[in-house]
Amino acid sequence: MRIIQIVPTLAYGDAVGNDAMALKCVIQDMGFDTEIYAENIAHPRKVHAELIDQIPTLLKDDIAILHLSTGAKINNDFANFSCRKIIRYHNVTPPEFFEENDSFIADVNKKALQSVEYLADKVDYCLADSEFNRQDLISYGYKCKIDVLPILIPFEDYTKKADEKILKKYKNVPVILFTGRIAPNKKHEDLIKSFCVYKKYYNPEAVLILVGSYKQSDIYFQKLIKYLEDIDAKDVIFTGHIHFDEILAYYQVANIFLCQSEHEGFCVPLVEAMFFDVPIVAYNSTAIPSTLGKCGFVMDTKDPLLVAGVLNEIYKRMEIRNQLIIEQRKRLEEFSFERIKNQFEMLIYSFIENGT
Amino acid sequence: METIDIEKIMQEIRQDIKEKGYTNDMLSFDDIVIENGTDRTMEEYLDTLNDLWNIQPYKVLVSGHGILGKLKVFLKKIIRKTIKFYIEPITIEQNEFNANNVKFLNKFFSYMEMNNRKIEMLEREIEILKNQIKSN
């Protein structure tokens, strides 16, 4: 029996791709014949994968897992697979976030949502990576069993050596950090606003580091750069796509992780911040509260004055910082590699035996 | 401290902001306008291509400050001379390709404009004929 995974794009550093690669290792350990098939494979690759057109003939007892997060031709074709079908649902960023800046991506995501709806009665089982995503599938009319399985994160990778230059440069600098692709749903402008107020009134030495890839031609990124110029913002750094050891270093030097995102299906960076004991301040939206559980400083407002005030309180008051870290460490246990791995194995065996 | 009382902290922060008179009168992000490339006409793109097709292999070397700056420029000149044999043929080929591309696009644009005029004329004729059929 085969268990294959299908992703639109397999790229190292992308949460969906990383999840697929980690699950592949688990499926291999379970003793099944497995492979990842992708429409696009971007280097560098940690794990071997094949292109979509290499998918072998699947038998009715085989299992195909489609990672659903964006528009792709394979999404609708998946309905015609003759094997047992599972959707691994990561959520699709609503196209409205891209209407103004990138009509192409808006269109891709519109098609993705159409596929989500189309597949509602054509799959056998779903694994949503958050309760928020599970509810989303239910709203699309999914009647099959849907279990929540958080993204599988190999934390061992985070113990690797961090970039020394960054560690040295920011050793005694107050760093506010956010990690995530430069995309309109992540609301980088709100991070900048709150940071500027924080820097102005509370901590002139502070630096805002925005780790995440961008394209110079991207309208949203250009708007952010222009915004920085127009408000005369200082010490806001876009790192762009960087090496893994540099990402590790930024987490190690960060004093606070600030998230103002308005749409997340899971938000791996929150778990990364937990791992590195970086206190989290986050806006209460979509899957963020379910990933954080009871930890982190979750705010219902984005008022820059209030966010800046919170950053100040956490930076200055050790007791708040320590309590946040204690709660985050407790929450982090829920995402341990062994725990999620065991959960996945149990769910897959149950599906194989009972069809659910 | 067992659990964090978020509400209490928020109240303290609000009070602090009020007492200190902190305000936020920052420019709104929604007011930022970037000229969107997709709003340009085909003619505007064609004009840009007609201006940009010919690539110069050698950019002007700007002299930096002091002795170090002059030394950098000198070294750049030497490097430029040593790789000239490699860079120039590539640039010449690229410019030939660019020139043919731009010539084709200019011709195609003219062809398209001619066809558009024909289509407009035919649409007018169809409208006239439709009206004639209706009145009969």
The pLDDT value recorded for residue B17 is 95
> H or E segment at A255?
none
β partners of residue A33:
A2
Look at B13 and A310 and tell me if their CB atoms are within 8 Å.
Answer: yes
How far A61 CA sits from the closest chain B CA (Å)? 49
β partners of residue A2:
A33
- Least CB-CB distance to A309: which of B2, B4, B13? B13
Torsional class of A124: left (φ above 0), alpha (ψ -120 to 50), beta (otherwise) = alpha
- Least CB-CB distance to A231: which of B3, B16, B27? B27
Residue A324's CB is within 10 A of a number of other CB atoms, namely 22
Look at A305 and B22 and tell me if their CB atoms are within 8 Å.
Answer: yes
Q: Per the structure block, which two tokens stand in for A194?
A: 């709150």
Instruction: Please write the tens of the pLDDT for every residue from A307-329.
Output: 999 999 999 999 999 999 999 99
Confidence at A265, pLDDT banded by 50, 70, 90: very high
Beta-carbon contacts of B98 under 8 Å, excluding residues fewer than 6 positions away, are B53, B54, B55
Chain A residues with CB-CB distance to B23 below 8 A: 305
Look at B4 and A223 and tell me if their CB atoms are within 8 Å.
Answer: no
C-alpha triplet A169, A172, A178: angle, nearest 5°:
75
Least confident span in A136-140, A241-245, B38-42: B38-42
Look at A310 and B34 and tell me if their CB atoms are within 8 Å.
Answer: no
pLDDT at position B1 over 80: no
Does A44 sit behind a cis peptide bond, omega within 30 degrees of 0 on the bond before it?
A: yes
Chain A CB within 8 Å of residue B26 CB: yes
> H or E segment at A318?
helix A318-332
The whole-model pTM stands at: 0.80
pLDDT at position A275 over 80: yes
Contact by Cβ (8 Å): A38, A10 = yes
C-alpha triplet B38, B44, B49: angle, nearest 5°:
105
Least confident span in A44-58, A152-166, A325-339: A44-58
- Least CB-CB distance to B32: which of A223, A304, A305? A223
What's the gap between Cα A290 and its chain centre? 13
Which ipTM did the prediction report? 0.82
Between CA A319 and CA A328 the distance in angstroms is 14
Chain A interface residues (partner B, CB cutoff 8 A): 103, 189, 193, 196-197, 201, 217, 219, 222-223, 226-227, 230-231, 297-299, 303-306, 309-310, 312-313, 319-320, 322-324, 327
Look at B3 and A320 and tell me if their CB atoms are within 8 Å.
Answer: no
